[in-house]
């Protein structure tokens, strides 16, 4: 069964600094990987997804993630943080033939002025 582990429950950066949120996956078959963002009192919104077409995936709001099979990682980055990026971020995984999506515990991103 597939699973993901998010390293760091809280990440704090200054506005304009690099954002790096870590996610490692475990899967017995090639996975599909996703990053979702959750703002307070809202549901989850898709940021980006990896489906094996390209290892570097670009998403909305300037975020991108790189799939590294050798490291079983799918870290989320953004070159310059904005105050509006403050939210909870979730990494998720599903198998190629079954949309049974499993989520990590989440990383809360705080952006300091």
Shortest distance, CB of residue 69 to other proteins, whole angstroms? 16
Q: Which is nearer to other proteins, 17 or 64 (CB)?
A: 64
Residue 103 CA to residue 80 CA, distance in Å, equals: 26
Shortest distance, CB of residue 111 to other proteins, whole angstroms? 20
Q: Which is nearer to other proteins, 27 or 73 (CB)?
A: 27
* Cβ pair 8, 20 in contact under 8 A: no
Interface with other proteins (CB under 8 A):
6, 9, 31-32, 34, 36, 41-46, 49, 51, 90, 94-106
Per-residue tokens: 19 = 């954002």
Q: Does the CA dihedral 91-65-89-63 come out positive or negative?
A: negative
Shortest distance, CB of residue 85 to other proteins, whole angstroms? 19
Residue 77 CA to residue 18 CA, distance in Å, equals: 7
Q: Which is nearer to other proteins, 7 or 101 (CB)?
A: 101
Shortest distance, CB of residue 66 to other proteins, whole angstroms? 18
How do strand 107-112 and strand 73-78 relate by DSSP bridges? unpaired
């Amino acid at each position: 069964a597939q699973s993901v582990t998010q390293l760091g429950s809280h990440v704090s950066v200054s506005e304009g600094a690099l954002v790096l949120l870590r996610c490692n996956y475990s899967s017995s078959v090639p996975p599909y990987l996703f990053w979702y963002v959750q703002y307070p009192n809202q549901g989850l919104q898709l940021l980006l997804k990896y489906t094996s077409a390209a290892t570097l995936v670009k998403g909305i709001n300037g975020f991108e993630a790189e799939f590294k099979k050798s490291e079983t990682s799918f870290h989320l980055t953004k070159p310059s943080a904005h105050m509006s990026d403050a939210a909870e971020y979730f990494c998720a995984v599903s198998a190629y033939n079954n949309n049974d999506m499993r989520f990590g515990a989440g990383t809360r991103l705080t952006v300091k002025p």
